[in-house]
Amino acid sequence: MSTWASIALWVVLLLVAFWAMWRGWLRRARVSEAAVPAIPAVPDELGATRLGPLEATYVSSTTAGDWLDRVAAHDLGNPGAAQVEVHDSGVLLRRRGATDLFVPAARLRGVGTAPGMAGKFMGGDGLVVLTWDAGADRLLDTGVLVRHRDERPALVAAVQALIPGEAA
C-alpha cells in the first residue's frame, strides 16, 4: 500500500471515530435531557451574599452517587472556568462559555468533598460536591474545584447552612 493510501485510510478512520464520539455525545445529551428536562433559572433577586465570588473550575454534573454518569443536557457536562457564589436563595455558578447554573436552597440535599468525578480525579478531597434535586425524582452531584484550597471549608460550610433541615 502506498504512503498516500495509508495516510488517507488513517484520516478516514480518525474522522469516523470522531463522528462516532460526537454522535454518542448527542445521544447522551438527548437521554439526559429527558431525565433532567430543565434546570432552575437564575432569579432576579438572589438575596444577601453569604460567600463569594470564589474563582473555581466547574467540573461536571453527574447522576448522584454515580460519578461517571455525566449529564450532558443543558451544558451540565461541559467543564470550564467559573465563579461560585452562595446567596440566601441558593448557590450560583457563573460559568464562562456555558449556561450559568443556579441551585435553589430548597433543592440542595447535601454538600461535601470528594477525590473526583467525571472529568476530574485528583485524589484527596479536592472537589466540593453539591447534591441537589433536579426534579423528576433525579438527584445530581455537581463538582466544583475551588482555585484556593483554603476556601474549600468555607464553601462547604456556607452551602451546608442553606440545606433545609441541616444545622447552620
**Grid coordinates belonging to 152:** 474549600
- Please say if the pLDDT value at position 132 is more than 80: yes
Task: Write the pLDDT tens digit of every residue in 91-126.
Answer: 999 999 888 999 999 999 999 999 988 767 777 788
* Cβ(154)–Cβ(92) below 8 Å: no
Three state DSSP letters for 65-101: CCCCCECCHHHCCCCEEEEEEEECCEEEEEECCCCCE
Greater confidence (83 vs 63) lies with 83
Residues 99-128 as b or e (16 or more Cβ within 10 Å = b): ebbbbebebbbebeebebbbbbeeeeebbb
Q: Output the average pLDDT for the chain.
A: 87
Cα separation of 117 and 69, whole Å?
Answer: 9
Residue 166, pLDDT score: 65
Verdict on whether the full-model pTM lies above 0.95: no
Percent of all residues in the chain with a pLDDT value above 70, rounded to a whole number: 92
- Please say if the pLDDT value at position 45 is more than 60: yes
Nearest to residue 119, comparing CAs of 151, 82, 76, 148? 76
Percent of all residues in the chain with a pLDDT value above 90, rounded to a whole number: 45
In the block, residue with C-alpha cell 440542595: 108
- Please say if the pLDDT value at position 153 is more than 60: yes
Residue 38, pLDDT score: 78
Domains and CATH numbers, the chain: 49-162 (2.30.29.30)
Cα separation of 136 and 61, whole Å?
Answer: 16
Task: Write the pLDDT tens digit of every residue in 33-44.
Answer: 666 767 888 899
Greater confidence (71 vs 145) lies with 145
- 167 pLDDT tier (thresholds 50, 70, 90): low
Residue 117, pLDDT score: 86
Provide the sign of the torsion angle of the four alpha carbons 30, 80, 60, 129, taken in this order. negative
